């Protein structure tokens, strides 16, 4: 991982404003990093903060899968994914796949604001870091 991180941003509908508020609060820390987001979430962030965000498709239309592909290709360093644990998601299988890939590939991941706060304040945020190798396939 380079000092400048590629950070994925996504939020379920009930959590989108919370993510926009979080990005707004940490705008100066995020300014030097490459931000990638699912379409609706990314548009809300851009409009609220003026930050440049690479927009993917909306989550249910494949944006979650696009983020997952970035993880598998080694092109995403962090994932801030504010999830709504109280609502069923029609594309839940994509959400589970994204979480699985982030775990498998040792991508830094926050699913709530408190974890995201700890990550954004980490001294490792703006430093190069070596990601551990993938685990061996288990029988």
Q: Is 28 exposed, middle or buried (0-12, 13-18, 19+ CB in 10 A)?
A: exposed
Active site residue 64: yes
**In 10 A of CB 42, how many CB atoms?**
23
Percent above pLDDT 90 for the chain:
68
Enumerate the domain spans of the chain.
Answer: 6-120
What pLDDT, on the 0 to 100 scale, is given for residue 131?
Answer: 84
What pLDDT, on the 0 to 100 scale, is given for residue 90?
Answer: 66
Please list the ranges in the chain whose pLDDT falls under 50: none
* Closest listed residue to residue 67, CA positions, set 16, 33, 109: 109
What pLDDT, on the 0 to 100 scale, is given for residue 139?
Answer: 55
Q: Tell me the torsion sign for CA atoms 40, 89, 111, 85.
A: positive
Catalytic residue among 18, 64, 92, 117: 64
* Closest listed residue to residue 7, CA positions, set 69, 61, 58, 70: 70
| C-alpha span between 134 and 53 (Å, rounded) | 29
Looking at domain 6-120, does it have CATH number 3.40.50.1380? yes
What pLDDT, on the 0 to 100 scale, is given for residue 96?
Answer: 86
């Amino acid at each position: 991982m380079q000092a400048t991180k590629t950070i994925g941003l996504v939020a379920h509908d009930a959590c989108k404003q919370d993510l926009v508020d979080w990005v707004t609060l940490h705008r100066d820390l995020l300014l030097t990093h490459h931000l990638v987001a699912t379409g609706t979430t990314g548009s809300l962030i851009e409009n609220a903060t003026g930050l440049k965000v690479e927009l993917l498709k909306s989550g249910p239309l494949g944006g979650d899968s696009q983020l997952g592909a970035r993880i598998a290709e080694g092109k995403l360093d962090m994932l801030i994914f504010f999830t709504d644990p109280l609502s069923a998601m029609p594309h839940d299988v994509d959400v589970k796949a994204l979480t699985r890939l982030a775990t498998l590939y040792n991508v830094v991941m926050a699913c709530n604001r408190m974890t995201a706060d700890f990550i954004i304040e980490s001294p490792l945020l703006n430093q190069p870091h070596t990601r551990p190798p993938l685990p061996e396939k288990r029988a």
